[in-house]
């Protein structure tokens, strides 16, 4: 289980506090928008090279765990 603080953070000086991937200005919502739109993870990573594959996958894994925890 990854520490979310190493993946995502919120800073009022970056996009008014919108959660972004650590070390970037890329909102995590952008990744979700790509996936919801049917785009593969590779396309997101190609368009936002400052986000690492490890960050994106870790975020998705943690999001999945959070959703499942709500159900179970």
What pLDDT does residue 8 have? 95
Task: Please give the average per-residue pLDDT across 2-17, as a whole number.
Answer: 90
The pLDDT of residue 1: 63
Report the domain count for the chain.
1
Beta pairing partners, 20 = 9, 27
- Per-residue pLDDT of 44-60, as tens digits, reads 999 999 999 999 999 99
pLDDT score, position 68: 92
* CATH number (domain holding residue 45): 1.10.10.10
Host domain of residue 31: 4-71
Residues 13-42 have pLDDT tens digits of 999 999 999 999 999 999 999 999 999 999
Burial class (CB within 10 angstroms; exposed 0-12, middle 13-18, buried 19+) of 2: middle
What average pLDDT does this structure show over 6-15? 93
Cα distance between residue 58 and residue 20, in whole Å: 13
* 3-12 CB burial, b ≥16 within 10 A, e <16: eeeebbbeee
């Amino acid at each position: 289980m990854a520490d979310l603080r190493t993946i995502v953070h919120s800073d009022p000086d970056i996009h008014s506090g919108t959660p972004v991937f650590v070390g970037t200005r890329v909102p995590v919502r952008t990744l979700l928008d790509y996936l919801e739109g049917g785009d593969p993870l590779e396309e997101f990573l190609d368009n936002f090279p400052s986000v690492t594959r490890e960050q994106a996958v870790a975020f998705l894994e943690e999001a999945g765990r959070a959703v499942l925890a709500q159900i179970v």
